[in-house]
Structure 1
Amino acid sequence: MSASVPPPAEPEPGSEGSPAPLFASPDGPAPAAPDPWSLPVPAAPPPVVPESERLVGYAPQTHLADGWDPRALGTLAPPAAPAPRERLAVPAFVLAWVLAPVGAVLGVVAAVRARRARRRGVGLAVAAVVVGLTVSVVVPTVVLPSSEAWARAVGATAPLGDVTGPTSAYARQLRDGHCLESLPDGNVRRVTVVPCDGPHAATVVAVVPLRGSTWPGDAEVLRVVETRCRVTAPSGTDVVALTPTAAGWRAGDRSGLCLARAATGT
């Protein structure tokens, strides 16, 4: 017969020959060992910046701007509407080219109203004043005197017939046989024509036509007219040549006059 041998008893905790638990709990079993994957990972050390790239006097730190909140747009004020334009500014500028004096006056009114009411259009109103004044000065002094249409409008090219009394006329209207109250001196545009049976200072004895389309100059025009006057002058009379100016030439005057002085007492 074989005798059964009982298994050896397990050693009690804390006895010699058995490992002691890490954490002893008087009221229950020992806790399990911690999971190594749940332990915190140590932070990586900061990068090493070379000495040559370091900013002197500034700490190596990062500054992040605050986040942009689209909801803030709802608190912004709407853009202001542009100021209205002065209603007289545009008509003033247009009239300055057609009716210059009216446009200039209207431009002054528009500029004053725009400044007082803080409206747009001050620059356009000032431009109307400048254009109106310029046209008012240039047209009567430069454009009209040199315009053939203006000369015809005032009757400067209409031939003058017989006169029964003192009559004011343009020099280019004179014809042979007209008598002048006084002898022209210098640049003249109008002369006084009187009946030849009364007192007069000079008589037109010839009208000298001038050729060409471009202005030949004062000296050339005077030479042509004086040459003709010496040929047509009555014997024993003093003849004076009357020639057109450059402005008269541009206006269409293409003729010179030979004036013979009247005898004393006639």
Structure 2
Amino acid sequence: MRIIFSLLLFIVFFSSCNVTESIVFNDEQSGEYLMTYEMGDAVKAFTDKMGGGQTDPDKKEKGEVMDTTMVFADIMETYKDSIAALPEEKRQAMEAVRDMFMTMKMNEDEGVMDIGIGLNFESLEDLRDIQEKIKKVQNLNGQGDQLDAMKNGSPIGKFMGSDDERVTYEMTANGFERLTAVDFTEEELESMSDLFDDTDENDKEFMQYFEESYYNIKLTFPKEVKSVSFKDAEISSDRKTVTYKANWIDYLKNPLLLDVKVEFVDE
């Protein structure tokens, strides 16, 4: 179970790389939610910085390849004795995410490392607290206090995302909406861009690092899509999947940027 917690710590620290929020809907508004963190570039940069990645290619062993799914309910059963010995707060956190799962795809030679946190949901009601559930999964590593300190007291903190927004999803026979609620006044929201100063050396360095980082949205519906409110959204050839994205820094400046309205084709 220790390796699982280590992966969770890795997710939290590098959660601001490339993130993909994917939802696949079935006919009954059930489906699968998956938040994926693409960390291949971050791992390579970290390895290079620590002096790795310079091995003679002729002597280098073949890298590890992995493609697996870990279901928390199964983990809790396998490690039930260890979980029973955890503090009450941690046991409650594990219970809260019992119905969730993690995916991991890794190919060291190709620089791929994707870790996902997901939920098979029965209705949209199950997604109303999905951000909170993801945070509980991330905090299972026991490093929540240190990560909060990093967010609040280090230069990289403001680049790691905010805990002050909640996303809800609504779907009717005619369309779908992704809506973000934030705990900011209109004036505070307008001034969020001032948090990032491209004349400050620390900010400038991090902004350059996140320049090619994106928050991606992928929505798949059982009905054909007629229109999408997001300007640069792409619609698949069968008109059932919508994809769009925003630069990570732009998203941090305006969390409402990824809100969208989708209109379905009349049947």
Please state which band the TM-score falls in when normalised by the shorter chain: under 0.3
TM-score by length of 1: 0.19
The structure with the largest alpha-carbon Rg is 1
Q: Which has the higher helix share?
A: 2
**Which structure's relative contact order is higher, taking Cα pairs within 8 Å and 6+ residues apart?**
2
Q: Which has the higher strand share?
A: 2
